Homo-oligomer: A and B are copies of this chain.
Amino acid sequence: MISQPDPTSVQDFAGTTCVVTGGLGFIGSNVVHALVGRGATVRIVDALVPSHGGNLRNVAGLAVDVLHAGIGEAAVADVVDGADVVFNLAGQVSHTASMVDPQQDLRLNALDHAGFLETLRRVNPNARIVHASTRQVYGRVERQPVDEETAAHPLDVNGVAKLAGEQLHMVYNHAFGMPATSLRLTNVYGPRQRLTSDELGFLPVFIRRALLGETIRIFGDGTQRRDCLHVSDVVGALLAATADTAVGRVYNVGHPLDHSLAEIAALIVAQTSSTGGVELVPWPDDHQRIDIGSFHTDSHRILDELGWSAQMSIEDGIADTVCFYRGDPWYQSPT
């Protein structure tokens, strides 16, 4: 189901031992599938926080070790011991949830990562670390597209906490020589995303509603623009980021083409043949107060330095995604 990332940008993982934190979640489980397919031994750490996207079903049928724990817990030491690569994808992703419980978001996205990095420093300081950050760290930016040297002004606690988590990885790289890289991901969609939460971004909500024939509701006038990435492209970027030249670097990871939310919704409606259509609705307060407006990622740095660029168009990506969920309707109504 997952398209292969560009093989020229992918390291060879056969025979390696990889840890994936958050490995039962959306992006994490797609990384796990890719690594297992490349011959890696994979160990997963996942806290299975109820409101997040983690589910054992996401790795069903794969021979992997799973530790059910937060990354700040002591038991993680045994999991990271001896690992060659750590994909550190654990965290809380909901912007609205971060405004309801700011301290919880800071714990999951920053404080626990400090604990995790301390564990790695003690147990396995030479492990290659790739951390997942987010374009949410930038906040609302006037000049588009947005490159990595743009000053970050996050508009919600999630952006603050993710930036802190990312910067902790860079501090541990600089101060202790631990080989870390962080990727600031744009909006991601694709197989194994939790569709049934309204808190994980607009893409899974749009896709779920269209699959169920319900009306997609767009907040505002629909002219807001975003670049979106199929998860297979994100997996490709995460694997490419294990290159030696990426150590100590932060990269934007986005798509060269952006679209309005109205265009994206119309595409999803068309590809699902949904009869629910699309309607524009007023912004709910809790979303509007942290809205960043239009955002287009400038991904030139990762193209120039690592040779990565998005391979899948949004048309192909949505088609692949719809096909996956049609074949696994559990995702639309999990027990």
Contact = CB atoms under 8 A, between A and B. Distances in A.
Contact of A111 (B111, B152, B170, B290): B111
Given A161-B164, A175-B156, A103 B111 contact: yes
A335 interface: no
Q: What copy number does this chain have within its complex? A: 2
A103 B157 CA distance: 18
Nearest to A98: B171
A103 B72 CA distance: 10
Contact of A164 (B110, B117, B156): B110
Given A151-B150, A157-B168, A168-B157, A174 B111 contact: no
A246 interface: no
Nearest to A155: B174
A170 B153 contact: yes
A102 interface: yes
A104 to B, nearest CB: 9
Nearest to A164: B164
A153 B167 contact: yes
A175 B106 contact: no
A38 interface: no
B148 A151 contact: yes
Contacts of A174: 155, 289-290
Contact of A114 (B102, B154, B155, B175): B102
Of all A-B residue pairs in the complex, the 9 with the closest CB atoms, nearest first, are A102-B114, A175-B289, A164-B164, A160-B167, A149-B151, A103-B114, A106-B111, A160-B164, A151-B151
